[in-house]
Amino acid sequence: MDVYEYFATRERECRELSLVPDVPFDDLFAEERGSNGQRGMMWARLGLTERAYLTMLETVVVRGTGIHRERYSYYLIFDEEEVWGYDRDPKHHPEEHMHEGTSHDRKHSGPVVFKDIAEQAWERVSELEELAREQ
């Protein structure tokens, strides 16, 4: 396993989940210089609809035969307003937390899975789009 295999997995997941990056996939990730494929970073703005997107940042390192996400952040943006976000940041307490709205009050979330976050984003965007149509 190296970071390139991991990035390829993320690219496949994005395609399967109909998440459209605003730049080509090859521009979304980079290996840390000198790491021999063992460390890297991925950042993206992934479009869901014309009004919504998911921001993603992951700093990853190979451990044994797998990948560990040392840091991550996933934020759902609708009409340029932050709806919610999930973070893993060792400098914060709790390290794994979520935010609702723009308050940035941290609530413990435990670790999250990118695919689950993307599915949650689609569900919330569907609700927000429906509410917007009703107004």
pLDDT in tens, 76-88: 999 999 999 999 9
Amino acid identity for residue 73 in this structure: S
Q: What percent of the chain has pLDDT over 90?
A: 92
Average pLDDT, integer, range 97-117: 92
Q: How far is CA 27 from CA 24, 45, 81, 110, in A?
A: 6, 11, 25, 29
Mean pLDDT throughout 39-60?
A: 98
Hey, how many other C-beta atoms are within 10 angstroms of the C-beta on 109? 16
* Reported confidence tier of residue 135, pLDDT bands at 50, 70, 90: confident
State in Å, rounded, how far the first CA of the chain is from the last one.
Answer: 49
Query: Where does the pLDDT of residue 74 fall: very low under 50, low under 70, confident under 90, or very high at 90 and above?
Result: very high
* Chain centre distance of CA 102: 17
